[in-house]
Copies of this chain bind each other. A is one copy, B any other.
C-alpha cells in the first residue's frame, strides 16, 4: 500500500517537485499578466490557476513584485543573448558594411523566430513584456535586461547610416520598439479592423514585413540631414489646426 505504487505520478525528488511547481506558477503568472497586466492579477488568481494555495505563492516568491521579476527574468536572458549573438554574427558576416535591414533582421527576426517556434510559453512571455512595458515596473525591467542588446543594435545602425544624427537614430529605434511591442501583444485589434484579413497571431506575416518596413522608415529619417526638403506647414496653419 505504499504511495508510490498507487500514485499515477512517478516518484519525484523534492528538487524535481520544487522545479515543476515553480514552473507551473511562472507559466500561470506569465499568462495572466500578459492578459490583464501587473495590477489586473492577484496572487490568488495565479494560485487558483495552478491549483495550489495562495500561501504557497508566498513560500516560493515572498511577494507579488518578486513573482513579477521572476517571470521576467526566467526568459529575458535567453532572448537577449540570442539577439546579441545574432548581431555579433551579422557584424562579422557583413564585412564592415552593415545594412539597416540586415541589422534589424538580426534584432527583430531572431526574436520572432523564438516566438514562432518556441511554443505558447514564449508567445505569452512576449505578450507579457508588451503588456507591462508601459508600466513603471515593466519599463525598469526592460531597461535592465534589454538595454545592452538595444545599444548594440544602435551601434550597428550608426555604422549603416553614417550621416545620420543620434537623435534620428534613437527616435527611429523608439518607433521600431513601439511597433514591435504592439505586435507582440497580439491584442486582436488588427483582426477586427481588417475584417479577418490579418490575424494578430500570425507572426510569420509580421516577420515578412516588420524589418523591411522599419528599415525603410529609418533610412528615410536620415536621408535629409538638413531637413531642407521636408514639407512644412506655415506657423499660421499649424496654429489654426491646433484647435
Residues on A facing B (Cβ under 8 Å)? 35-40, 86, 101, 109-110, 113-114, 116-118, 130-131, 133-136, 139, 142-143, 147, 150-151, 166-168, 170-183, 185, 187-190, 192-194, 197-198, 200, 205-206, 208-210, 212-221, 227, 230-231, 238-239, 241-243
Contacts and interface: CB of A to CB of B under 8 A. Distances in A.
Nearest to A185: B134
Q: Which of A35, A171, A214, A231 has the most CB of B within 10 A?
A: A171
Interface SS, A side? helix
B182 A178 contact: yes
Contacts of A37: 37-40, 134-135
A210 B176 CA distance: 11
The oligomer's copy count stands at 2
Given A170-B190, A177-B182, A212 B221 contact: yes
Contacts of A166: 194, 197
Given A39-B39, A208-B227, A221-B213, A171 B147 contact: no
A196 to B, nearest CB: 10
A148 to B, nearest CB: 11
22 contacts: A36-B39, A37-B39, A37-B40, A38-B40, A113-B242, A118-B242, A134-B185, A139-B189, A143-B192, A167-B194, A170-B197, A171-B205, A174-B189, A175-B210, A178-B179, A178-B180, A178-B181, A178-B182, A179-B182, A181-B182, A208-B230, A215-B220
A2 B240 CA distance: 46
B206 A171 contact: yes
Sorted nearest first, the 4 A-B pairs with minimum C-beta distance are A178-B182, A216-B220, A117-B242, A213-B217
B118 A243 contact: yes
Contacts of A213: 172, 175, 217-218, 220-221
A172 to B, nearest CB: 6
A204 B194 CA distance: 31
B193 A183 contact: no
A177 to B, nearest CB: 7
